[in-house]
Amino acid sequence: MTWSRRIVRIRPLHVLAASLCVLVLACSVLAYPKPAQVPYRWELTFEPGDLRLYVDTETGLSYWYFAYKVTNRTGKDQIWAPTCTLFTDVGEIMKSGRGVPSRVTGDLLELLSNEFLQSQNAIIGEIRQGAEHAKEGLVVWPARNLTVNELSLFVGGISGETVRVANPLTGEQVILRKTLHRDYLIRGDALARGSKPVELVDENWILR
């Protein structure tokens, strides 16, 4: 999804090719599987917090961070091992924790002052049933490029819903998993905004 206004100039010779690409993409979207409207597999209750920017005072480096709460009301104990991937509009694809010093995670845990909050590694494991066994987690990514305007967050592991489809290029069977997708928009300079929550503009479930 793109929210920023851009002026795109297409050369006349490319108009036909562009039209064909749009048609192919439209057909692909229509054919792509979507999650069931009513969940038929186990699904945890996931309560996302705000996405924010943190600047490490020791090194001057910046990090995106995100806190959440997850509760098991599925009727059966589950394993909580989430995957949290952040995409940016400059082409970055970042898996949570990679390139994040443990000291920075520790500093954020101290800053947030929540005795129940756990790091992304410590939180992995069994999640028992009931609100009294809910878990709260912290996810962190390096913010190497602060010129970004659009970010997309994908959180997997919340649901047991899957679908098997054929790779359109190889024909190989692949498994897609129900994933929470959240889109964010940064208005203005990311660094100047400080730790204000990044604006959430869309949230939906997808299979990926």
CATH code of 141's domain: 2.60.40
Render the burial of 125-155: b for 16+ CB within 10 Å, e for the rest: eebeeeeeebbbbbbbbbbeeeebbbbbbbb
- 158 close to 56: Cβ distance less than 8 angstroms: no
Q: What is the CA radius of gyration of the chain?
A: 20
| Residue 49 belongs to a domain | yes
Residue 186 CA, chain-centre distance (Å), reads: 15
Q: How far apart are CA 180 and CA 122, in angstroms?
A: 22
| Residue 117 belongs to a domain | yes
Point out the residues of the chain with pLDDT beneath 50. Answer: 1-30
| Residue 13 belongs to a domain | no
Length of the chain: 208
Tokens of 95: 């898996």
| Residue 142 belongs to a domain | yes
| Residue 174 belongs to a domain | yes
pLDDT for the residue numbered 169: 86
| Residue 149 belongs to a domain | yes
Residue-number span of the structural domain to which 42 is assigned: 35-207
How many domains in the chain? 1
| Residue 6 belongs to a domain | no
| Residue 141 belongs to a domain | yes
pLDDT for the residue numbered 31: 60
pTM over 0.75: yes
